[in-house]
Amino acid sequence: MNSMKIKIALVFLGFYLNSLAQGIVPFMDFNNFLSSYENGFFRQIEIQPISNLKTGDELAAYLDLRGNLRLYDGKERRDITLLNATYEVSDHILAYMIAGGLKAWVDGKNFNLTSFASEYAVKDSLVVFLDGRTRSTNVFWNKQSIMLANIFDKLEMPEFIGDNLVIYKDASQTYNVFWKGRNYEIGLFNQEFKGFPGTDGRGQITFSVGCDVFCFNDPFTQSFVVFEDGEMKDIESLPVQKFMAARGFVAYEDINGNLWHYRKGVKTPLSNFGATKWMAKDDLVTWVENSYFFAYSDGVKTEVANYSPQDFQLKNNILAFRNILGGVDAFVDGKVVNITNQLDSEYMIFGNKVLTLLPNKSAIVYENGTKYSN
């Protein structure tokens, strides 16, 4: 019986330690050495200067002193290649290219995507790339490469790529979307619609692509359309002025200037006073209304500040912004917290944490109601 209790305790300890190990907060200190905050502690990862640091919630890719590509994932520092490479990271994926050879690093493994890549883009669960040999648009998803379309004319990267969706044109110039292993046809928009809301300067249709959803103004039906749960849904019978897709929802400004939130068949009014400077990303919508700064998260509208911030960042369910004194505040878990009033501080969001770098490159990390300093 005692041995069984010990085994159960070890299992729960393993789950606990694994949950603690998730997520890193990488940054370059005043020596340009790589450091990282993890689980309440700061760790020095490199003892020599690094360059070209690119980060996500779980990964940090960089060049060491000799120009070699390295990766740190919170568990170990890995040498990826000694050759000259271009590279990009998302929260979960590293993609890098050497003389046309494109590879992806996911969950501790390298995957060969193609030897003839010309361009690529990296998102949370996707790598979208062009293959010059097959003249095709491709996606790496769920640890497998999938050809989306053969292009016989000019081979171009898709313009609209979200966290787990990519909108692309096939050989007939018909728009399609790839989502969770399936392709859905959107439609053929081969005419110019200059002046129509939701088109670019050339009169071409534009989309906003998030995670699990995308939206656009349909120039044929004159309606505002949202792709949700594998279906195209008319949300407004008239085109809207501005729209943004986020994580499972969209925010949009209708023809009367009202700001709305839409998710799973429910439309929620956010502002009818001419919201300005508004943005939707991941789990949040923010906007300025009569010089007051608001946020909408988890079904609750909150006044974040009684001024319009100079700059702000959204990621996951966190809003970080420049406060009125020139320091950094954050809206986390439904409340506003002050991180620092030090002028000219830099800030970034990683997972559920906010990193602030002071002018002397010392770091403050806000996590779960506590500030940690190195």
Query: Is 74 in contact with 65 (CB distance < 8 Å)?
Result: no
* Long-range pairs of 331-335 with CB within 8 A, sequence gap ≥ 24: 331/295, 331/297, 331/302, 331/304, 332/366, 333/369, 334/297, 334/298, 334/300, 334/302
Is the pLDDT score of 137 beyond 90? yes
pLDDT in tens, 37-52: 999 999 999 999 999 9
Mean pLDDT for 231-250 is: 97
Contact partners, residue 222, CB within 8 Å, separation at least 6: 237, 238, 239
- pLDDT for the residue 5: 43
Query: Is 149 in contact with 129 (CB distance < 8 Å)?
Result: no
Query: Is 251 in contact with 244 (CB distance < 8 Å)?
Result: yes
DSSP secondary structure string for all residues of 176-206: EEEETTEEEEEEE--S--TTSTTB-TTS-B-
Please choose, from the candidates 182, 150, 151, the residue with its C-alpha nearest in 3D space to the C-alpha of residue 165. Answer: 182
| Tokens encoding 58 | 């779980």
Please choose, from the candidates 201, 233, 202, the residue with its C-alpha nearest in 3D space to the C-alpha of residue 218. Answer: 233
Measure the CA–CA gap between 63 and 104, rounded to whole angstroms: 17
- pLDDT category at 165 given cuts 50, 70, 90 is very high
pLDDT in tens, 316-327: 999 999 999 999
Query: Is 98 in contact with 62 (CB distance < 8 Å)?
Result: no
- pLDDT for the residue 152: 81
User: What's the angle, vertex CA 254, arms to CA 248 and CA 255, rounded to 5?
Assistant: 160
pLDDT in tens, 270-310: 998 778 899 999 999 999 999 999 999 999 999 999 999 99
Which burial class, exposed, middle or buried, applies to 329 when counting CB atoms under 10 A from its CB (0-12, 13-18, 19+)?
buried
Query: Is 106 in contact with 143 (CB distance < 8 Å)?
Result: yes
- pLDDT for the residue 203: 64
The number of CA neighbours under 13 Å toward the Cβ of 252 is 30
**Residues β-bridged to residue 179:** 165, 182
- pLDDT for the residue 195: 63
| Tokens encoding 286 | 């923010």
Measure the CA–CA gap between 144 and 282, rounded to whole angstroms: 25
- pLDDT for the residue 212: 98
Provide the percentage of residues in the chain whose pLDDT is more than 70. 92
Domains within the chain, CATH numbers bracketed: 2-284 (no CATH), 285-374 (2.40.10)
Helices (H) and strands (E) in the chain, counts: 1, 39
* Helix (H) / strand (E) containing 18: helix 2-20
- pLDDT category at 154 given cuts 50, 70, 90 is confident
Please choose, from the candidates 42, 38, 36, the residue with its C-alpha nearest in 3D space to the C-alpha of residue 61. Answer: 36
**Distances in Å between the alpha carbon of 374 and those of 171, 269, 323, 371?**
55, 43, 23, 10
Mean pLDDT for 245-258 is: 96
